[in-house]
Chain A
Amino acid sequence: MDATILSFLLLDGLQNGVVYGLLALSLVLVFAVTRVILVPIGELLMFAPLSLVWLLEGKLPGTLWLALALGGAWALMARGRGALLPLVGGVGLFLLFLLAKGVPPLAYLAAVLLVVYLGVATYRVFFQPMRGATVLSLLIMAVGLHVAYQGLGLVFFGPEQFRPAPLLSGEVVVGLSWQGVLVLLFAALSLMALYLFFRFSLFGKALLAAAESRLGARLLGIRPEEAGMVAFGIASLLAAFSGLLLAPLINAAYFMGFMLGLKGFVAAILGGLASYPVAFLGALLVGFFESFTSFYASAYKEALVFLLLVPALFYQSLRARTVEE
């Protein structure tokens, strides 16, 4: 291996690693606030670029109807004034989609908002009624939604792969495209925004409080369902942007999200599903590991990534006490 290949592999690993990192952060956040392990995050990610492709071709994507259906269920379940948000949001989303057909800037916005609306609606319709359920039941629900959403992705978009045009074309240097730079920039910006949000805004602090202790947060007037909606909203937002930026580099198809999400999980598990910095660093490690294994054993790279779990789980097992109250 010479220096050129090495730098290729490092750049490639970094570019994928930061995306895994954003997913891992979203997963840790959602888990901390709601106890939900958000397996369908990969599907939320996948919905964004594919909906965009449909919009740019002047068609309304099936995801819109899915989002509106879930929004309708959300409104029915919320009733009263709580129904206002899903109704207004749904109508707004629909109008935006009508306007955005074939109009690139609007289409990007529409794709992002669609995924955020869908993510929040998913929380309200499927997870919020289960509050009080065990982590295990919530996980089973999440996995069920993953297969359902992936299957719907196949129905909506078919089995073909799409490559949306990049926002910026061309290469900075050989091996690093401008689109790749955008991915890195977006990751850096997101990290900064998340840091500022949780460090300085009242709502961010409230969210962390809710993650620390749901009862304690409630006693201080923070509603857990509100905290859950925001957590799902942030996770969906990060997933949607990641999907849009990544799609021109790796092709978009109905199955693309799951593996990306799963690698985010590996990173989140490296951080014990609790530590944000370790999860993000873990994600970079996953990215580099993957890019080097793909050089040496490309057919198995997707499988080998999971080997990283072995030392991580082993280490955590050594530290664990067997009996938890």
Chain B
Amino acid sequence: MRYLWFLLLLLPLALSPFPYYLTLLNFFALSAMVALSLYVLTGLAGMTSFAQAAFMGMGAYATALLTVKAGLSPWLGLGAGLLSALLLALLLGALTVRLKGHFLPLSTIAWQVALYILAGNLVGLTGGHTGLTDLPPIHLFGVSLDTGFRYAFLTLLLLVLLVLALYNLRHSRIGRALLALRGDALAAASFGVDPAALRLKAFLLSGAIAGLAGFLYAHFLRFVNPTPFSLEASIKYLVMAVAGGVGSIPGVMLGAAFFTGLEDWLKDLLPLLLGRQGNYETIGYGLILALILILAPKGVWPMVERYLPNRGQGLPKAEPLPLKSPDGPRGEVVLEVRGLQKSFGGLMVVAGVSFTLKRGEILALIGPNGAGKSTLFNLVAGALLPDRGQVHLFGKEITGLPPYRIHAMGLGRTFQHPHLFLELTVLENAALGTYSRTRAGFIQALLGFSRKEEERALATAYRALKRVGLESLALEKAERLSVGQQRLLEIARLLASGAEVLLLDEPAAGLRAQEKRELASLLRSLAKEGYTVLIVDHDMDLIMGLADRVVVMNYGEKIAEGTPKEVQRNPLVRAAYLGEEEVA
């Protein structure tokens, strides 16, 4: 189905009698590439850039300088172009990917403007606003690509290959991780995704794509000057992507096609209407962008897509990933928490709590609302930094490590309020769990080399769904699930991750009685297999029937620890739950 994109290559043949339209066709292909670079950045990774035209400019000027000034081959120019685009992306990205989401786009505006000014003022190097002329044409297999007709085959072929590569990326562990990161960085990080590293790689890929488009642009016009690499141009590409629907590849292509045509038309029409020459089409872009954002924030494509036949994916049939069952002697200490302390402002939420967790046991953490249970969870799993105290996992200190490092060492968690990705299918949500058990990187994912591994990852996720009883909903969107089912899905994601130490934050809240019984028997059988469970819940019947040991917290302190029977008799515990009079 996706190979239908190759039909685009017929367009030059159909348009061959009209040189003007061949030029437009080339512009469409180049714009679509830049817009697709924003698909990677905005659609997948949830960032954006107002400097895509600057990346194009890096590609274009690099090749222009090498071919015109040094007389070298355009292919060396391509290498230099990609390299300089990547370097720029590395610089911008390294400075901003660790910051809150708006610093990256905001600083891209600044760099875009700065580079544009430099391109116009470094006259000795760039030729200033007159630019560099007489770039050599590209030669391919002895054919000189010096006409719009011939060039269109190259640009369209590269465009189609890019589209296919991005489909591969979307349906890979990397694509899934990027989408997860966009939706909920904490949940993604809790399953092994390093947010800053992945964002930086996405930014590099997006910069390289735009750089490639710039290289092609330069050798198509065989002339470069700063104008096509301005902030206005960057915004034009963003408008294309957003208007079409930046979350999907067809949407971005649609936007690129529509605006390439519209721009051409506006450039003729507006000066006529206004009686003056000028860049008036930017008004149109700005207003269209505003209307789209208000009326159809997801762009036009989702509205079109509704009427297309839905060709859903099938259930995975591959062999699941090998699941190494937890080994090591039962009763060995797997998690040790010593004197953990955390305060928010003046409020001490966790005040020096210690406990140990032994392999194969179910330890329950209970306490009234506000006792500090969830904060303790977040401290152990790396979502919060403790003020004092240590956490050891399998004998190694993990205090203060980020969640993705802790997860990789064998600890997994669920959240008090489910952190799921509602636009993804149930199966994909569960498959995020396999992130740290799979290996394919960006390049393998783009080239489609990771398909086997991906099949097995999905099969692993499917098996985990079976275990919690959600397999019949595997291909539904996660937004269709009830709250109870969402909690089960979080447990399935955890099982797919192969973590041996399971932290469950109120897994039974919102479950029906029958579902609770099934959950209890699932947890018991997991413990029997050697998994270790730390569970927080308010359902005392469930906890007392399930837990081997119970730790009771109140006002941030541990007030009791022991078997369910012991803590039920403990006067401090009764006081915490029933009120102080009980003690007196």
Interface residues of A (CB under 8 A from B): 37, 39, 126, 129-130, 133-137, 139-141, 143-152, 154-155, 158-159, 259, 262, 265-266, 269, 273, 299-300, 302-307, 309-310, 313-314, 316-317, 320-325
Contacts and interface: CB of A to CB of B under 8 A. Distances in A.
A145 B102 CA distance: 17
A222 B459 CA distance: 51
Contact of B194 (A135, A266, A316, A322): A322
Given A300-B117, A302-B117, A303-B117, A144 B235 contact: yes
B293 to A, nearest CB: 5
Contact of B289 (A144, A302, A310, A323): A144
B403 interface: yes
Interface string B88-107: 00000011101111110111
Contact of A262 (B113, B186, B189, B283): B113
Interface stretch (B157-165, B271-279, B347-355, B440-448): B271-279
B121 interface: yes
Contacts of B283: 147-148, 151-152, 155
Contacts of A321: 385, 402
Contacts of A143: 50, 109, 235, 238
**Most chain B CB inside 10 Å of its own CB: which residue of A144, A154, A325:** A144
A141 B242 CA distance: 11
Given A322-B195, A324-B185, A145 B290 contact: yes
Interface of A is mostly: helix
A150 B195 CA distance: 36
Contact of B106 (A126, A269, A314, A325): A269
A211 B46 CA distance: 24
Nearest to B184: A325
Given A144-B235, A155-B274, A139 B48 contact: yes
B560 interface: no
Interface of B: 42, 46-48, 50, 94-96, 98-103, 105-107, 109-111, 113-115, 117-118, 121, 185-186, 189, 194-196, 232, 235, 238-239, 242, 274, 276, 278-283, 285-287, 289-290, 293-294, 297, 382-383, 385, 402-404
A323 B113 CA distance: 30
A317 B95 contact: yes
Contacts of B274: 155
A36 to B, nearest CB: 10
A265 B185 CA distance: 26
Contacts of A139: 48, 102, 105-106
Given A154-B280, A313-B96, A317-B96, 11 more contacts: A130-B293, A133-B293, A137-B293, A139-B48, A147-B286, A151-B286, A154-B279, A300-B118, A303-B117, A320-B98, A323-B404
A136 B48 contact: yes
B98 A322 contact: yes
A24 B551 CA distance: 51
18 contacts: A130-B293, A136-B46, A144-B286, A148-B287, A154-B279, A262-B109, A262-B110, A300-B121, A302-B113, A302-B114, A307-B114, A309-B107, A317-B94, A317-B96, A322-B195, A323-B186, A323-B404, A325-B186
A265 B293 contact: no
B240 to A, nearest CB: 12
Nearest to B236: A147
A133 B242 CA distance: 14
Given A144-B290, A323-B402, A135 B383 contact: no
Nearest to B279: A151
A323 B285 contact: no
Contacts of B50: 143
A148 B196 CA distance: 33
Contacts, number: 158
Given A147-B235, A269-B107, A306 B276 contact: no
Contacts of A314: 95
Contacts of B100: 135, 320, 324
A136 B105 contact: yes
A300 B128 CA distance: 12
A316 B100 CA distance: 10
A155 B280 contact: yes
B99 A313 contact: yes
A152 B276 CA distance: 13
B277 to A, nearest CB: 9
Contact of A141 (B46, B94, B118, B293): B293
A37 B107 CA distance: 12
Contacts of A323: 185-186, 189, 195, 382-383, 402-404
Nearest to B281: A151
A185 to B, nearest CB: 30
Given A139-B105, A303-B117, A306-B114, A144 B239 contact: yes
B106 A37 contact: yes
Contacts of A137: 293, 297
B245 to A, nearest CB: 13
**Most chain A CB inside 10 Å of its own CB: which residue of B280, B290, B404:** B290
Contacts of B102: 37, 135-136, 139, 273
Contacts of A306: 110-111, 113-114
Given A141-B293, A148-B290, A151-B282, A317 B98 contact: yes
A146 B95 contact: no
Contacts of B403: 323
B238 A140 contact: yes
Nearest to A141: B293
A160 B115 CA distance: 25
Contacts of B185: 323-325
**Most chain B CB inside 10 Å of its own CB: which residue of A146, A299, A304, A322:** A322
A139 B286 CA distance: 12
Nearest to B293: A141
Given A135-B102, A273-B102, A316-B99, A144 B293 contact: yes
A312 to B, nearest CB: 9
A18 B286 CA distance: 30
Contacts of B287: 144, 148
A147 B278 contact: no
Contact of B285 (A148, A266, A273, A303): A148
Contacts of A324: 100, 185-186
A15 to B, nearest CB: 22
**Most chain B CB inside 10 Å of its own CB: which residue of A134, A147, A324:** A147
Contacts of A325: 185-186, 383
Contacts of B121: 299-300, 303
B184 to A, nearest CB: 9
Contacts of A269: 103, 106-107
A247 B239 CA distance: 32
A132 B274 CA distance: 37
A135 to B, nearest CB: 5
B297 A133 contact: yes
B272 to A, nearest CB: 13
A82 B82 CA distance: 54
Contacts of A265: 106, 109-110
A154 B286 CA distance: 14
A273 B106 CA distance: 11
A129 to B, nearest CB: 5
Contacts of B117: 300, 302-303
A320 B235 contact: no
Given A151-B282, A154-B280, A323-B402, A136 B47 contact: yes
**Most chain A CB inside 10 Å of its own CB: which residue of B110, B235, B281:** B110
A309 B110 contact: yes
Nearest to B419: A325
Contacts of A273: 102-103
A181 B216 CA distance: 53
